[in-house]
Structure 1
Amino acid sequence: MDLFDDLPEPTQTPAPVSAASTTEEENEEEEEEEERASKRKRGAAESRSDEKEEQIKKVCKEGLPVLKGYVAARRGEREEMQDAHVLLRDMSGFLSALPAQVSQVAFFAVFDGHGGARASRFAAENLHHNLAKKFPSGETENVDKLIKKCLLDTFRQTDEDFLKKASSQKPAWKDGSTATCVLVVDDMVYVANLGDSRAVLCRMETTGGAGGARRSVTLALSREHNPTIYEERMRIQRAGGTVRDGRVLGVLEVSRSIGDGQYKRCGVISTPDLRKCQLTANDRFIVLACDGLFKVFSADEAVKFVLGVLQEGSVEQRPGLTEEELRFEAACQQLAGEAVRRGCADNVTVILVSIGF
């Protein structure tokens, strides 16, 4: 009940004053008092509304996944580290306001540069800022559709901005980069990717045998783009380009990328593939990595390698980290190290995102 609803309007105790004798000053005082009372009512109503919204958001947060990101990077035999990455477990600080029905947003990305490190670094520094500017906010009906549009616009904007900067240099930059981005909105994962970096999800399933045994299932969250794929080759050829030795013009290994200005006229585009997947309590982790890892590991082998490290014996304790965090960190580092040990000469960057409920 609103306190002010029960209070009568202030009245004067002396004898009634005729309308003709009421002064302008008294009228103004009465109007001001009415306005103050109205403001108090509105303030109280807004306060109750804000409290209710906060309570709803608190309830919504229960049951949502808890994500933690770990990264490992190896230069391999390359002279320069051309990979870049972004880990934002909580992206809300970059957003002006979350959509009313959204409680948490996280962002993880790997960028694998070629021809130099400038395109990958530019993408790592700018793509999530462009995403934050275009991210839906306030009362929105179709958040899913808006997020997909936001991702497409973000990739286009980032590519255009880099190409503009690259062409203004003397000599012009010719760098390019893949991009594989994982955006988690509450319990929904959106993956946008260009090129040959990959994202895979480890989901545990019950086998149905005695003792409730479980096995891992590896789910691909991204799709590679290279000129040997029929649809990619057809687009390149329609644009007047050629594919030789599995490369655009016999040089570029990927058919979609950020940058690579000299190949844009040949059908190399910056439009990402978009996929989405709802997380469940059976999901264990996401592996997000450049092709340096997947040259020597299949997706399933990478998942099983991580599970093996997570199930190993005791780990060396370190202040500020739980045993589970230490295991995931070790799994991430060992996976990248094993890729180099297996003979990968390329840069290797691995992001391991743990999923807890």
Structure 2
Amino acid sequence: ERGEKRKRDGDLDQQQVEEKDEAEKKVCKLAKLKGVVAARRGEREEMQDAHVLLPNLSECMKTLPAQSRLSYFAVFDGHGGARASQFAAENLHHTVISKFPKDVENLDKLVKKCLLDSFRQTDEDFLKKASSKPAWKDGSTATCLLVVDNVLYVANLGDSRAVLCRIEQTDSGDENCVTLALSKEHNPTIYEERMRIQRAGGSVDGRVLGVLEVSRSIGDGQYKRCGVISTPDLRRCQLTPKDFVILACDGLFKVFSAEESIKYVNKILQDSAVDGKAGQTLEEAGRYEEACQQLASEAVRRGCADNVTVILISIEF
């Protein structure tokens, strides 16, 4: 009887170990992120937007904690020229890589510090380059998504935005599409922004000195003395299955509300879904591509004369 009891206890211990391992596997399962982009020049003479899609940024990293994965997506909306937006698109993620924390302890705090430092460094580097060329008065907004494992960090300055669609189950069992704002708009009419600019000696008449529409940006060296800063707003979000993210410049949101854009994309994804078929990876990518292109085209059709850049990011577990 004692032998049988030891055997049963051993089997139970083995079962608990297996269940624990299975639970850990589920916890460690990383989301798969894919991004598609659509860009329209609108009625502008040149395209001043820039964008970056790096779903496997971790491939560029020399050292990363075991099983860690990084993804990076960004939209930059230039004004006064395309040089600031192009510079940020080419350099910001390299600065993030160089400053990314090596220690996994206090990772959340260190990632946020990395993003703040990277924005400041990119702004300083561009201003240094622009100062040697008096004609360079370019500036740019920036909205960047950095995904560390299954945690999404958003750093933004200016009026480009990021919104997330989260599918939630209702009490009746139906699925409800919920829109979550992942960024904060920075324009000089907002009280805190206006106060900072006025304390720095600048004036606000709808715009900074009556000219600049945003109160935070990369570049815009001539407005830095007036309180225009390059410190981004930071948000953090845990990813869940069926999420998707729209990352876009203000050209989209001049004619779409955040909720409208999410519902517009979600309807296209649902309407074009393959009935009763599983594992349609190519079809899935095609549906997101179609939704992204249609959203950008619809913004132009609705009368947006500005540049329009939209990144649509799918998230699968």
The superposition leaves residues 25-45 of structure 1 with CA deviations (integer Å, 9 ceiling, x where unpaired) of xxxxxxxxxxxxxxxxxxxxx
Alignment partner of 1:161 is 2:131: no
- Verify the 8 A CA contact 1:295 1:344 in the aligned structure 2: yes
Alignment partner of 1:325 is 2:288: no
Greater shift in the superposed pair: 58-67 or 71-80? 58-67
Q: Which residue of structure 2 lines up, in the alignment, with residue 71 of structure 1?
A: 37
Unaligned regions of 5+ residues in structure 2, if any?
1-20, 275-279
Q: Which residue of structure 2 lines up, in the alignment, with residue 133 of structure 1?
A: 98
Task: Kindly provide the amino acid, as one letter, of the partner of residue 235 in structure 2.
Answer: R
Equivalent pairs counted in the alignment come to 290
Aligned counterparts, 1:1-357, within 5 A = 59=25, 62-98=28-64, 100=65, 103-137=68-102, 139-169=103-133, 171-209=134-172, 212-244=173-205, 246-281=206-241, 283-313=242-272, 322-357=282-317
CA distance in 2, matches of 1:272, 1:328: 29
Greater radius of gyration (CA): 1
Q: Which residue of structure 1 lines up, in the alignment, with residue 17 of structure 2?
A: none
Unaligned regions of 5+ residues in structure 1, if any?
1-54
**What's the Cα RMSD here?**
1.7
Q: C-alpha displacement at 1:78, in angstroms?
A: 0.3
| Secondary structure at 1:236 match in 2 | helix
CA distance in 1, matches of 2:27, 2:286: 25
- Verify the 8 A CA contact 2:272 2:287 in the aligned structure 1: no
CA distance in 2, matches of 1:311, 1:275: 28
Q: How high is the TM-score relative to the length of structure 2? A: 0.88
CA distance in 1, matches of 2:92, 2:44: 25
Q: Which residue of structure 2 lines up, in the alignment, with residue 12 of structure 1?
A: none
- Verify the 8 A CA contact 1:61 1:103 in the aligned structure 2: no
- Verify the 8 A CA contact 1:60 1:103 in the aligned structure 2: no
CA distance in 1, matches of 2:302, 2:221: 34
The superposition leaves residues 72-115 of structure 1 with CA deviations (integer Å, 9 ceiling, x where unpaired) of 000000000000000000001222211x2551100000000000
CA distance in 2, matches of 1:109, 1:223: 15
CA distance in 1, matches of 2:27, 2:282: 22
| Secondary structure at 2:39 match in 1 | strand
CA distance in 1, matches of 2:25, 2:166: 26
Inter-CA distance 60–94: structure 2 relative to 1 (3 Å threshold): farther
CA distance in 1, matches of 2:200, 2:272: 55
Inter-CA distance 338–172: structure 2 relative to 1 (3 Å threshold): same
| Secondary structure at 1:216 match in 2 | strand
CA distance in 2, matches of 1:248, 1:96: 42
CA distance in 2, matches of 1:101, 1:256: 36
Q: C-alpha displacement at 1:144, in angstroms?
A: 0.6
Q: How high is the TM-score relative to the length of structure 1? A: 0.79
- Verify the 8 A CA contact 2:70 2:148 in the aligned structure 1: yes
State the 4+ residue runs in structure 1 displaced beyond 3 angstroms: 58-62
Task: Kindly provide the amino acid, as one letter, of the partner of residue 152 in structure 2.
Answer: V
- Verify the 8 A CA contact 2:47 2:307 in the aligned structure 1: yes
| Secondary structure at 1:190 match in 2 | strand
CA distance in 2, matches of 1:80, 1:289: 18
Inter-CA distance 248–285: structure 2 relative to 1 (3 Å threshold): same
The superposition leaves residues 208-254 of structure 1 with CA deviations (integer Å, 9 ceiling, x where unpaired) of 12xx111100000000000000000000000000001x100000000
